[in-house]
């Protein structure tokens, strides 16, 4: 009785944690970011649009994030500069509708490179909180299939070749990770598209840049390039990056048996 009276007079224990925001619908054109997650999350697919958001999209929506899917550049085969400009238009419209000051970008493969171009050259640094890359082609690839795609008219394939790409030279010259954006690059050692797999990683200050090799903590993870957005370990890294200030924590330890 006395404890109840004390609680009623303000002398009780700590306040309960705030309730989590209600779930959202992935890619709803009317989504509104909740106070707990004020930055809408934009998912940016890779070349040939060969990216599945079936794991990451719902994982974010269950936690109340406003999640939008961005489609661009003739299924990601067009000029990356033009695709980055499309991303700028998309983000500007999303911010205007939701009132959000900044967004978070999650890009798979080429999508990570498109996002970086937008941040570095099209004013995105003023409007992006986090940039998370999943097997991103940040420094290109030595995979001969990219050359084959270029010969078949895939402009983006040619621009992602590790040799001779003027776009890669420009985007990686000087500061690869301009602030105040936080960068997390999540990569699998078994990437058969971005070769070598370390091409995904970025240099920059540890306070704003984290590079993740999935097998460093989960050596039995055999995910390939297209598997990364679906990989439950990668999803945990994405959630850690977006759920805190700064990039993903280098000391974060995912659950390797997650499913």
1 located within any domain: no
Q: Which of 19-33, 59-73, 99-113, 164-178 has the lowest mean pLDDT?
A: 19-33
5 located within any domain: no
Q: Residue 157 and residue 138: Cα distance in Å, rounded? A: 13
pLDDT at 70 exceeding the cut of 70: yes
187 located within any domain: yes
* Phi, psi torsion values for 198, nearest 5 degrees: -70, -10
251 located within any domain: no
Residue 247 C-beta-side C-alpha neighbours within 13 Å: 25
The predicted-structure confidence for 156-191, as pLDDT tens digits, reads as follows 999 999 988 999 999 999 999 999 999 999 999 999
Q: What is the mean pLDDT of residues 220-225?
A: 97
Which residues form the domain of 40? 24-242
Which CATH number goes with the domain that contains 151?
A: 3.40.50.1820
- Alpha carbon dihedral 169, 170, 174, 176, in 10-degree steps, equals -90
Q: Which of 1-15, 93-107, 191-205, 214-228 has the lowest mean pLDDT?
A: 1-15
pTM here is 0.91
| Residue 12: per-residue pLDDT | 55
């Amino acid at each position: 009785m006395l404890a109840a009276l004390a609680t009623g007079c303000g002398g009780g224990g700590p306040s309960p944690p705030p309730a989590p925001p209600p779930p959202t619908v992935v890619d709803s054109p009317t989504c509104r970011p909740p106070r707990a997650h004020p930055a809408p999350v934009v998912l940016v697919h890779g070349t040939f649009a060969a990216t599945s958001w079936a794991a990451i999209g719902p994982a974010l929506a269950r936690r109340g994030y406003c999640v939008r899917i961005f489609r661009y550049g003739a299924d990601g085969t067009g000029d990356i500069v033009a695709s980055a400009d499309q991303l700028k238009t998309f983000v500007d419209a999303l911010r205007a509708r939701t009132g959000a000051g900044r967004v978070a970008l999650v890009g798979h493969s080429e999508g990570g490179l498109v996002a970086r171009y937008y941040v570095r050259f099209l004013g995105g640094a003023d409007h992006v909180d986090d940039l998370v890359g999943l097997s991103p082609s940040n420094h290109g690839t030595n995979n001969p299939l990219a050359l084959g795609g270029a010969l078949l008219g895939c402009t983006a394939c040619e621009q992602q070749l590790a040799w001779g790409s003027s776009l890669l030279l420009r985007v990686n010259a000087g500061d690869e990770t301009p602030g105040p954006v936080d960068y997390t690059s999540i990569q699998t050692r078994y990437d058969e598209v971005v070769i070598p797999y370390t091409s995904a990683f970025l240099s920059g200050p540890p306070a704003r840049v984290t590079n993740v090799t999935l097998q460093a903590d989960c050596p039995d993870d055999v995910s390939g390039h297209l598997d990364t957005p679906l990989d439950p370990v990668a999803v945990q890294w994405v959630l850690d990056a977006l759920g805190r200030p700064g990039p993903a924590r280098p000391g974060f330890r995912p659950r390797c048996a997650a499913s």
